[in-house]
Structure 1
Amino acid sequence: MINIYDNYIEKKYDNELLRIDAWGKDSFRVRSFADRKFHDNNFALLDREENSKNKIEVLNQSGEEITIRNGKIKAVIDHRDRITFYDNEGKILLREYIRLRAVKHDDGAEDVGTVEFTKDFNSTLKLKSREFKANYGGAFETTTRFESDPNEKIFGMGQYQHEFLNLKNTKLELAQRNSQMSIPFYMSSLNYGFLWNNPGIGEVTFAKNITEWYMKSTKSIDYWITTGDNLKEISKNYADVTGKVPLMPKKLLGLWQSKLRYRTPEEVLEVVKEYDEKGIQLSTIAIDYFHWPKQGEYRFDNDFWPEPEKLISELKEKYDVEPIISIWPTVQSDAENYNDYLEGGYLINVNRGVRLTMLIQGTTVFLDTTNPEAREYVWNRIKDNYKKIGIDYYWVDVAEPGYAVYDFDNYRYDSGQALETANLYPNGFLKMVYDGMNEKDHSVVTLVRGAWAGAQKYGALGWSGDIDSSFEAFNNQVNTGLNVGIAGLPWWTTDIGGFHGGNPKDPEFRELIIRWFQYSVFSPILRMHGDRLPHSAPLSNSGGGSMPTGAPNEIWSFGKEVEEILVKYLHVREKIKDYIYKLMEEAHKDGLPLMRTLFYEFPDDKKAWEVENTYLFGEDMLVAPIMNYQHRERDVYLPGDQVWVNIYTNTEYEGGRTYKVEAPLQEIPVFIKKSSVHKFKELLKFVNESFN
């Protein structure tokens, strides 16, 4: 039985309720409920009111089969109860899987795919495209299957620490971990975008023969699919239904200075004064973890930060530097206000054993950020102890949350079992800061170590997490950052030089700092951070003073040669700041990433779909990072029917070809479209005077 309404249809058969909504421009949302029990949770999607103008157009209906359209996308439910999605020209975008199909190629060979179907195979597999298995807890283990085109390319899905740009033939965990941000939205070379709108723990397999989304425990299958004339339209459609980033303040586009960790106001001011004397305007300086006496108190430790309001005032008024304060979602059992958390029910619970979720500085548990009352309680403390003294920007660390053991089946949130809702956790913390700071004259920007779909609307600035300080780790970051942008999170950054380790006196690490810094200049946010070696002794035996600090991590900490190169690139950053701000305006208005794959701007260039570790910064600038020790040249493919200009030599190159480009230590290959050279006159003048 199929019921048709203005903006959705419902089909009921046996124990399933299937619902397809027109949800946004050229898009459908598909939900399947076992036992016909409808649950109205939007998860990553904005409320229905935002998309009420989109209507279902019924093109054809015959018995249990129906064809519907919403703008440029069409969906067909056939007699097998399978859904197939088509574009405006009738090309298949995606089809649910129930059996293999044959494709005839020009050479007469048969292969499995979804391009042009010539016949069905008889199948006794008895597989369902939407499969539910009861887990006896009111929820279900589910598997959702789609046919796979072996030649399809898949991009996005957030941050995973591997080297792959094209995610076809990978298997990804749908969970937050330190250095892993699961943002389950991808774009396909077949010209569609797909959001897995389920915040539970699971995995996706993009295999050659099948695509499978598996959930351990959920009450529904929920996904959203869109298409458009190009990938930019798909980005816009996604941002329209999940939310757009605020407008990044221009003053935050300079250098963010951080280390593990500044322990006193004197240490902070010493660094800021040194930058000021060198004529370098910092954007922010970070006051990192354990500036507090106990986790969960959300206040400065008076023993080491006796008058924080004076420090904040001096940073902002004298040096025009924004302090950014680390806040963790952890609570120590011996915190002064621990009983408040217990009385309010503000903590994550466990299904078995003792409630203990992390051990650092004491016995700690995690705040339940999915609980609105818990968010209100914590924000009131942050407001009283940080916001009221002038702190406008926050660094939400350990926001996955960073469990000591990732036994997701053992954790229980206000929003439900962690297996069903765990990916909502970082978004809850982000929402707390956003709701508290979202004022007419302030744009919320929150540095965060975890993010799920929709996090961008809360001002999420994701970063690479606690990765290794090595060229091997650096090799993973360029493609990873591109996939984060495609997944709908325009703001992303890395710890320059990586986080774990790195001795400022080591020649290889010094070169790593140079290469990583050069790359980061052409990224949304330029951020120095890391746990450098060797550590210094703690200041005391108690409170925040008991924690060590890493070696210096300022631009002058790595020797004179390194400093001279980094200073040059700081000037490069200043020369392109207006350009970056325009990209930030595009991200705010349309949801476009700042760092873009070559095919994002040049989809008709077949070679552009194969190029990795090279990207466009906006539409006018191409960057090819140097990611290996002692490399002094690299191959660079310049896409499209364009002429490209090398910013160091002013040499012109025809697009559509690969060139071997020199890259001495003070240079990484950067090219500008010849047609856009007029936008970069100051940059080119500076480079010509300073690098040659």
Structure 2
Amino acid sequence: MAFEVQEGGFTLNLGGRTILRHAPETPVLFIGRGDASIAMHHGHFDIEDYVIERVALRHAEIRGDKVYLSTSPASPAVLALRIDGNETDAAIAFEALDPAINRIWIRVVAEPGEHVWGGGEQLSYFDMAGRRFPLWTSEPGVGRDKSTLITWQADRRSNSGGDYYRTNYPQPTYVSSRRYALHVETTAWSAFDFRREGFHEIEVWDVPARIELWARPHFSDLVMALSDRFGKQPPLPEWVYDGAIIGLKDGENSFDRLEKYGDAGVAVSGLWCEDWAGLRETSFGRRLFWDWQYNAARYPDLPKRIAALAARGIRFLAYVNPYLCVDGSLYPEAEKAGYFAKKLESDETYLVDFGEFDCGVVDFTNPEASQWFAEHVIARNMLDLGIMGWMADFGEYLPTDIRLASGKEATLAHNEWPVLWAEVNARAVASRGKTGDAIFFMRAGYSGVQRYCPLLWAGDQSVDFSRHDGIGTVICAALSSGLVGNAFHHSDVGGYTSLFDNVRTPELLMRWAEMAAFTPVMRGHEGNRPLQNLQIDQDPEVLAHFARMTRIYVHLAPYLRMLSREAAETGLPVQRPLFLHFEDDARTYGIQTAYLYGPDLLVAPVIEADRSDWTAYLPAGAEWVHVWSGKRHAGGQDVTVPAPFGEPPVFYRADSAHADLFERIASVR
């Protein structure tokens, strides 16, 4: 790190890169005051800010080990910075000298043509250059494209249409093509604005604790540094490699349907029944009964069923979220103990409307409530029953007009909530000695979720090929989240959200299964409207195709096992952007429709309807072999290949140590 002082200004260089350049005429920092209005509707937030004041801090004065900033030489300092670091790492700590400050804007040096990636789990744009991204955990929305009919319908019906930047898992961290990474340590609402040619602007609705910076010679080194910072996941459980997790929510009939999968040759590692606690019918579709204990009417003799599956090497998975419905049996227990968050002006329990049913918010800032949920709900009601995995859903719904036991403002606790939720799940798993064996998966996240959550999933995609909410968005989600320390990612095969007569097709299910075979975990889902949507076991062709894809997944288990161990040791994700291993090929910087599966496999899933061929870019610096034909291609060019069902565009490096394994993919039947 080089910190150079000039007349009235300073420059911060890291690893030979200029990060900050402050002068009176081009200030780095702006401070101000704002008055935000935040309203939530079923996990969707309307957020507006009235900026009362924004002023530039033009004057910088160095005193001791701090930089004092003010509007002019004659004005008192209102903000102090302390900059520490070494040649490659730096931290800028912030100290507000004026308590009225609740907005800050920071300008970071940008270069023409620079690419930026990260931002947590982004679904629409992997390269964030040229756009602004608010960072606030929420429902992503339906369609997520204001120009489409489905988003218009969702907005008109329930304000749930979403937009390109909305995500369950935001994170104020980005990686630059200039080979540095930046993280803002804050839980406040923030935004990354990459629309200016000369600077990136970071906006925070609070004074952040610090900004952290890393400079490295290679992108892979940056990913490993971020993984060291946020925490690593354990390797995938051994049982996962045995096949797909079959998602069924059909009560006791789920076990009979599972046999149909097995008879069709599907390789099965688990049965996931999210309806284990019961169902309720709503206008959105079938919803779960949010009282986290097994429903004996829907699943009679469930403990025996789970044990019988385990004897066959098949794990049983369930579902849980951090809320309790008022008409369930756990609610009175938590209410009596004072475990729920309260209304602002009274000791009355705050209830959230989740769409035709109300729930209490278990207050995870209360250590006793957090421990109760981990031990009584997850450990006893799930793990002790033999459940070895679950969807740990939600986490993004914390209202901002709520009172927490810690006294922390809900606007500052909102983004942090998914991390607290992940910690509760991880604590329960650890309490039974099952870390690395039992697995839970989450869609919501924020900075630090990496150290607790062993597996992400991409959330509730629409059951279609749409640009901003369909099958292709899960590639973008895996790549962006992987860069900031999340090694394992997967999605619902076939998508989830079916609204306004938008239903699954056999084509979509088969294309999704093809992609899922080349991800860390294959898992199905019946969706929010199971009766209106095609299920895998309802179409013989779809079922046979799915069975073969699961066998390909199992065939690749030795390679995936190696990648899993590598992820636990280094933090490198299983699904990687092409530039992570081909950083000298600038063409790879903007690609978000293909990924490297480890260093040696290139996967370019078919993510458009009615296609029988597909074009993929093969990075320069390697010779590539098409898995299905065996044909070799030089890197540095676009290649169009046939893509019939069952032959997704996949290529491997000709010089790979795993070439024999990859060559045999085509022979898997």
Fold shared, TM-score > 0.5 on shorter chain: yes
Relative to structure 1, is the Cα distance of residues 399 and 297 closer, same or farther in structure 2, using a 3 angstrom cutoff? same
Equivalent runs, 1:153-168 vs 2, <5 Å: 153-162=115-124, 164-168=125-129
Relative to structure 1, is the Cα distance of residues 452 and 474 closer, same or farther in structure 2, using a 3 angstrom cutoff? same
Equivalent of residue 423 in structure 1, options 415, 419, 426: 415
Equivalent of residue 321 in structure 1, options 298, 314, 318: 314
Match of 1:92 in 2: 18
Distance 1:448 1:607 in 2: 32
Match of 2:513 in 1: 517
Give 1:492 shift.
1.2
Over aligned residue pairs, what C-alpha RMSD do you find?
3.2
Relative to structure 1, is the Cα distance of residues 552 and 632 closer, same or farther in structure 2, using a 3 angstrom cutoff? closer
SS of aligned partner of 1:474: coil
Scaled by the length of structure 1, the TM-score of the pair is 0.75
Match of 1:434 in 2: 426
Equivalent of residue 376 in structure 1, options 371, 375, 388: 371
Relative to structure 1, is the Cα distance of residues 689 and 157 closer, same or farther in structure 2, using a 3 angstrom cutoff? closer
Relative to structure 1, is the Cα distance of residues 303 and 673 closer, same or farther in structure 2, using a 3 angstrom cutoff? same
SS of aligned partner of 2:415: helix
Is the aligned partner of 1:448 residue 2:448? no
Instruction: Tell me, yes or no, if the aligned pair for 2:274 and 2:318 is still in contact at 8 Å.
Output: yes
Across the two proteins, how many residue pairs are aligned to each other?
567
SS of aligned partner of 2:395: coil
Is the aligned partner of 1:169 residue 2:130? yes
Instruction: Tell me, yes or no, if the aligned pair for 1:200 and 1:419 is still in contact at 8 Å.
Output: yes
Scaled by the length of structure 2, the TM-score of the pair is 0.78
Instruction: Tell me, yes or no, if the aligned pair for 1:469 and 1:498 is still in contact at 8 Å.
Output: yes
Match of 2:647 in 1: 667
Match of 1:15 in 2: none
SS of aligned partner of 1:423: coil
Relative to structure 1, is the Cα distance of residues 82 and 513 closer, same or farther in structure 2, using a 3 angstrom cutoff? farther
Equivalent of residue 335 in structure 1, options 328, 340, 343: 328
Q: State the Cα deviation string for residues 94-143 of structure 1 (Å, max 9, x = none).
A: 55687549xxxxxxxxxxxxxxxxxxxxxx96568988799999872333
Letter in 2 for 1:281: A
Q: State the Cα deviation string for residues 271-301 of structure 1 (Å, max 9, x = none).
A: 2222333343312221214615996642112
Match of 1:196 in 2: 184
Relative to structure 1, is the Cα distance of residues 411 and 212 closer, same or farther in structure 2, using a 3 angstrom cutoff? farther
Relative to structure 1, is the Cα distance of residues 347 and 289 closer, same or farther in structure 2, using a 3 angstrom cutoff? farther
Relative to structure 1, is the Cα distance of residues 316 and 608 closer, same or farther in structure 2, using a 3 angstrom cutoff? same
Give 1:312 shift.
1.4
Is the aligned partner of 1:147 residue 2:136? no
Instruction: Tell me, yes or no, if the aligned pair for 1:358 and 1:365 is still in contact at 8 Å.
Output: no
Is the aligned partner of 1:578 residue 2:573? no
Relative to structure 1, is the Cα distance of residues 633 and 337 closer, same or farther in structure 2, using a 3 angstrom cutoff? closer
Give 1:338 shift.
3.0
Relative to structure 1, is the Cα distance of residues 475 and 459 closer, same or farther in structure 2, using a 3 angstrom cutoff? closer
Equivalent of residue 478 in structure 2, options 476, 481, 487: 481
Equivalent of residue 390 in structure 2, options 385, 390, 394: 394
Give 1:258 shift.
4.7
Give 1:168 shift.
1.0
Letter in 2 for 1:556: D
Equivalent runs, 1:666-685 vs 2, <5 Å: 666-676=646-656, 678-685=657-664
In the alignment, structure 2 segments of 5+ residues that lack a partner are 28-54, 61-68, 70-77, 80-94, 141-166, 280-287
Relative to structure 1, is the Cα distance of residues 75 and 303 closer, same or farther in structure 2, using a 3 angstrom cutoff? farther
Instruction: Tell me, yes or no, if the aligned pair for 1:504 and 1:533 is still in contact at 8 Å.
Output: no
Equivalent runs, 1:500-579 vs 2, <5 Å: 500-501=497-498, 509-531=505-527, 533=529, 535=531, 553=535, 555-557=536-538, 559-579=539-559
Give 1:599 shift.
0.9
Percent identical pairs in the alignment equals 20
Instruction: Tell me, yes or no, if the aligned pair for 1:371 and 1:415 is still in contact at 8 Å.
Output: no
Q: State the Cα deviation string for residues 406-455 of structure 1 (Å, max 9, x = none).
A: x5355646361121121221111111121221265641522112011221
Relative to structure 1, is the Cα distance of residues 267 and 79 closer, same or farther in structure 2, using a 3 angstrom cutoff? farther
Letter in 1 for 2:374: W
- Structure 1 range deviating more: 589-598 or 477-486: 477-486
Give 1:202 shift.
2.6
Letter in 1 for 2:220: K
Instruction: Tell me, yes or no, if the aligned pair for 2:618 and 2:637 is still in contact at 8 Å.
Output: yes
Q: State the Cα deviation string for residues 26-63 of structure 1 (Å, max 9, x = none).
A: xxxxxxxxxxxxxxxxxxxxxxxxxxxxxxxxxxxxxx
Give 1:477 shift.
2.5
Match of 2:666 in 1: 687
Equivalent runs, 1:340-359 vs 2, <5 Å: 340-351=333-344, 355-359=350-354
- Structure 1 range deviating more: 512-521 or 193-202: 193-202
Match of 2:201 in 1: 212
Instruction: Tell me, yes or no, if the aligned pair for 1:396 and 1:446 is still in contact at 8 Å.
Output: yes
In the alignment, structure 1 segments of 5+ residues that lack a partner are 1-68, 102-123, 536-549
Letter in 2 for 1:590: T
Equivalent runs, 1:12-411 vs 2, <5 Å: 69=1, 74-76=2-4, 80=8, 82=10, 84-87=12-15, 90-93=16-19, 95=21, 99-100=25-26, 140-162=102-124, 164-179=125-140, 180=167, 181-209=169-197, 210-216=199-205, 218=206, 220-259=208-247, 261-263=249-251, 266-289=252-275, 291-292=277-278, 297-317=291-311, 319-351=312-344, 355-360=350-355, 362-382=357-377, 383-401=379-397, 408=400
Relative to structure 1, is the Cα distance of residues 306 and 202 closer, same or farther in structure 2, using a 3 angstrom cutoff? same
Distance 1:617 1:211 in 2: 31
Q: State the Cα deviation string for residues 505-545 of structure 1 (Å, max 9, x = none).
A: 97x7111111111111111211111426563xxxxxxxxxx
Relative to structure 1, is the Cα distance of residues 100 and 258 closer, same or farther in structure 2, using a 3 angstrom cutoff? farther
Relative to structure 1, is the Cα distance of residues 150 and 290 closer, same or farther in structure 2, using a 3 angstrom cutoff? farther
Match of 1:626 in 2: 606
SS of aligned partner of 1:253: helix
Relative to structure 1, is the Cα distance of residues 78 and 246 closer, same or farther in structure 2, using a 3 angstrom cutoff? farther
Q: State the Cα deviation string for residues 563-614 of structure 1 (Å, max 9, x = none).
A: 3322222221111111011111111001101111111111111222233312
Match of 2:282 in 1: none
- Structure 1 range deviating more: 335-344 or 195-204: 335-344
Relative to structure 1, is the Cα distance of residues 440 and 385 closer, same or farther in structure 2, using a 3 angstrom cutoff? closer
Letter in 2 for 1:486: L
Relative to structure 1, is the Cα distance of residues 463 and 475 closer, same or farther in structure 2, using a 3 angstrom cutoff? same
SS of aligned partner of 2:214: strand
SS of aligned partner of 2:620: coil
